[in-house]
Amino acid sequence: MKLIVGLGNPGPEYAETRHNIGFMVVVRAAEKAGITIKRKAHQGLLGVGRWAGEEVSMLLPQTYMNRSGVSVGSACQSLGVSPGDLIVVHDEIDLLYLCLRIKVGGGHGGHNGLRSIAGVLGEAGYTRLRMGVGRPPAGGDVSRYVLNRFASAERVELAGYIDTAAEALELLITRGPQEAMNRYNTRNLPTT
C-alpha cells in the first residue's frame, strides 16, 4: 500500500494558502482516483481505495503543519507503510511557483511539517513531491507569505499546476520515483 500525505493546516482560514498546496494536490488526486477523503483517523482525514491498480491511502493531517509527524507516524504504523511507500506533498519556498520536483529522502530544509515528520520517522527515505510556491519579496516575512492566499495572477494557473502534480503522483505510484523524476524534474511545467 502507498500512503500519500498532503501537508497543510486545517480550517477555512488556511484553505487556499500557499502552505496548503499539499492538501490541494492530494484532494485533486483523490478526485481523479475516485477516493473520498473523509474518515477521521490518525488525527487526520483519511481515504482508502485503488488508483491505477494500486492500493492507496490518502491522508490530510489535521494537527496543523508543525505537528504533521504525529498524524503521519500513526498512519504509517497502523497501515504498515514503510518509508519507501510514503509520499509527502508539500509547499517549497526554494522552488519558483509552477515548478515541482520529486525527491527521495533528504532533510527538512526548514519546513516545519517535514521537521515534524523527521522527528517521528527520522530522516527516512520517503518520497517528497515539492510544490514550488516561491519566496516572499526581499526582506518579506516567510511565515506570513506562506500563510497568505495565492495572488489573483497566480490563481489563473493554479488549477493546471495542481492537475499536473496529481498526474505526477499517479506516475509515482505506478512507475516509481525514478521515472517520475525523469519526467518532471527536468523542466518547468506548462500548466495551461
C-alpha cell at 139: 526582506
Instruction: Give just the sign of the alpha carbon dihedral 188, 13, 148, 59.
Output: negative
Give counts: helices (H), strands (E), the chain: 6, 7
DSSP, collapsed to helix, strand or coil, labels residue 7 as: coil
Give me the active site residues, please.
Answer: 19
Q: Judge whether 78 and 43 are in contact, CB under 8 Å.
A: no
Q: CA angle 18-128-6, nearest 5°?
A: 50
Task: Give dist(CA 171, CA 173) in Å, integer.
Answer: 6
